[in-house]
Amino acid sequence: MAKQSFAPVLPVLALILAAFPAAVQSIGVCYGVNGDNLPPASDVVKFYRSKGINSMRIYFADRNALRALSGSNIGLVMDIGNENLDDFATKPSAAAAWVQQNVKAYPGVSFRYIVVGNEVTGSDTDNILPAMKNLRDALSAAGLGGIKVSTAARFDVIANSYPPSNGVFNDDYMYYIAQFLSTTGAPLLVNVYPYFAYRGDPQDISLNYATFQPGTTVTDDGNGLTYTNLFDAMVDSIYAALEDAGTPDVRVVVSESGWPSAGGFGASVGNASTYNQGLINHVRGGTPKKPGPLETYMFAMFNENKKQGDETEKHFGLFNPNKSPAYNIRFH
């Protein structure tokens, strides 16, 4: 998106910058540790700062990372770990103890959100909302009520995502979560991967459309908006689902997005570089339905050689474990 340079928009732009400082200054990056050759957390935090990355997501209360982050001014999104869902849903005391040990104990860390469950499926989804409520109460009791509590959903919580204006939630539990978020002022976190949509349907989804390249234009007759990339269409279907749930005030945060550089169909250095650079450049402008900075966390900082699942899972890193770039990328 071209930079706006007109004087009349400057006051509005200043308000946007104040509201979403980290989202504008720098995109966030997820820091996973499923590797046996990764640098120590203290080096990783220094590496984030050297690259001007002002936001991080971690997937459990990693004490080494928390110690290293203290005083860094890096905004932190921290997961509780899916293994804690049942305990936190049924035992408020467990949630309270976790907050004391992993949040209250690190006053120098700039906590942004606590994430209650990452891509939870099946019957465990019943535990998300009770656990969120107990975590919210525990944070408030500890004097940390400014830290918002949310969950990170898989994109397939959305049904009818095409066209975007038809988006609705697949399951009732998401409606209740949306209502809770609306009440608390917290955003909904969703992992958004055009890569997997493209891999699953390359006949109908062009590579250019999936990677922010020109050549495809899609008009949504339901909202009259025009889409030139799949990422925007996916995110706007989430906004449509939130509107359908009666919670149009809930903001969306993209808690993961990325493209693998090896290991499977469509996974190459060229495609990963094109997508991820396009993502960085694009999210500052938001989507057709919601213009303005869109807080987004790239997945992931490093290639992780112990990741489970498809071979592609080991190749989502922007950097190799020795901190050399997996491909050229600019954060600003």
Q: 159 preceded by cis ω (within 30°)? A: no
Contacts of 158 by beta carbon, 8 Å cutoff, 6+ apart: 167, 168, 169, 170, 234, 237, 238, 241
Any catalytic annotation for residue 256?
Answer: yes
Beta bridge partners of 110: 75
C-alpha distances in angstroms, 191 versus 10, 145, 162, 246, 249? Answer: 32, 25, 17, 22, 19
Residues written for the chain? 332
* Active-site entry in 83, 119, 243, 313: 119
Helix residue ranges, H only, the chain:
10-19, 21-25, 41-50, 63-69, 85-90, 92-99, 128-141, 172-184, 194-200, 207-210, 230-244, 269-282
Catalytic residue among 256, 295, 304, 313: 256
Quick one: which of 97, 85, 90, 99 has its CA closest to 143? Answer: 99
Please give the backbone phi and psi of residue 157, each rounded to the nearest 5 degrees, phi first: -70, -15
Burial degree of 47 (CB within 10 A; 0-12, 13-18, 19+): middle
- Crossing angle, helix 128-141 and helix 172-184, to 10 degrees? 20
Residue 215 β-bridge partners: none
Contacts of residue 270, defined as CB under 8 A and 6 or more positions apart, other chains included, come to none
What amino acid positions are annotated as catalytic residues? 119, 256
